[in-house]
């Protein structure tokens, strides 16, 4: 494996505006897609070159199996979810980190009993440039709340990074993750040390429960930013949904020193901030922890 240049940051110095969309998605696909289109457009109007949507932005059903009929084949731009994201990226000339959608498992019928929970990344020309399937599947039981994603999801197989070239700005090396992945720091270490340089930006679209979010969400996000000396963009579901579930929200953008630059506590909205390559370089120079790694 090649050794990354641990002090290296984005290849150009221009700051890049990014936006995390917070939603309270419901049970009707087209309404959710329309809200996503609205917020992508609003983010672009505020100067964002990269926009992230939350986990399951497209559908929060009454039960886990409600997502199964909406599974799409990879790269099917005639399908409603991927088609909407591709058109929005092209219309607004932005990179879109497409939250998550139910993706059909290879060679499985649609609908099937299980799908993958997938982030699709779209370039400003509308092309699908990366796909990441959630590796770690959430399971929680405190006696009152119980949730087991493995009942309807198949886990992914590998980490994924993408280089997002911002016209007139930086080329950002983005590490993709989803919700429960946040609790596994080795995933981010693997991504940061798998290429020619460390990550510039970590993406964590999520639908954290209110209970776990209140206890751990900000703590974990800031830890991932500090230990990888990278920005974090965390677009979340944030409110009480039609199905009665309450998600924590607090969509955030965090800098490499762990400072929260923008936050939407609850309800729909945008967290908007700038990624400054000079800030990444400064943090990595004054505390070269990435160079000091021994394991």
Enzyme catalytic residues: 55, 134, 179
Which of 41, 34, 27, 40 minimizes the C-alpha distance to 70?
27
Q: 213-252: string of b/e by CB count within 10 Å (b at 16+)?
A: beeebbebbbbbbbbbbbbbbbbbbbbebeeebbbbbbbb
Asked whether the beta carbons of 43 and 94 are under 8 A apart, the reply is yes
Q: How far apart are alpha carbons 275 and 124 in whole angstroms?
A: 18
Per DSSP, the residues of 247-289 read B---EEEE-TTS-EEEEE-SSSEEEEEEE-HHHHHHHHHHS-G
Report the greatest alpha carbon distance in the chain: 53
Q: CB–CB of 49/169 below 8 Å? A: yes
């Amino acid at each position: 494996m090649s050794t990354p240049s641990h002090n290296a940051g984005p290849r150009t110095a221009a700051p890049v505006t990014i936006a995390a969309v917070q939603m309270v998605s419901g049970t009707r696909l087209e309404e959710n897609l329309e809200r996503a289109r609205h917020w992508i457009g609003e983010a672009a109007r505020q100067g964002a070159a990269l926009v992230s949507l939350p986990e399951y932005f497209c559908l929060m059903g009454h039960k886990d199996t409600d997502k199964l009929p909406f599974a799409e084949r990879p790269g099917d731009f005639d399908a409603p979810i991927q088609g909407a994201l591709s058109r929005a990226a092209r219309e607004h000339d932005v990179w879109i980190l497409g939250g998550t959608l139910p993706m059909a498992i290879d060679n499985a019928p649609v609908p099937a009993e299980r799908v993958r929970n997938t982030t699709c990344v779209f370039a400003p020309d509308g092309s699908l440039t990366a796909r990441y399937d959630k590796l770690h599947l959430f399971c929680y039981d405190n006696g009152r709340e119980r949730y087991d994603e493995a009942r309807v999801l198949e886990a992914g197989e590998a980490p994924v990074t993408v280089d997002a070239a911002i016209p007139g700005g930086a080329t950002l090396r983005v590490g993709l993750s989803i919700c429960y992945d946040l609790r596994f720091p080795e995933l981010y270490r693997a991504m940061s040390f798998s290429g020619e340089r460390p990550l510039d930006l970590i993406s964590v679209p999520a639908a954290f429960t209110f209970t776990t979010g209140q206890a751990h969400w900000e703590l974990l996000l800031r830890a991932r930013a500090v230990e990888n000396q990278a920005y974090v963009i965390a677009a979340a579901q944030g409110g009480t949904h039609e199905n009665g579930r309450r998600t924590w929200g607090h969509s955030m953008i965090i800098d490499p020193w762990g400072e929260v630059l923008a936050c939407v506590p609850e309800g729909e909205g945008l967290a908007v901030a700038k990624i400054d390559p000079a800030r990444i370089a400064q943090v990595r120079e004054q505390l070269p922890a990435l160079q000091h790694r021994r394991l």
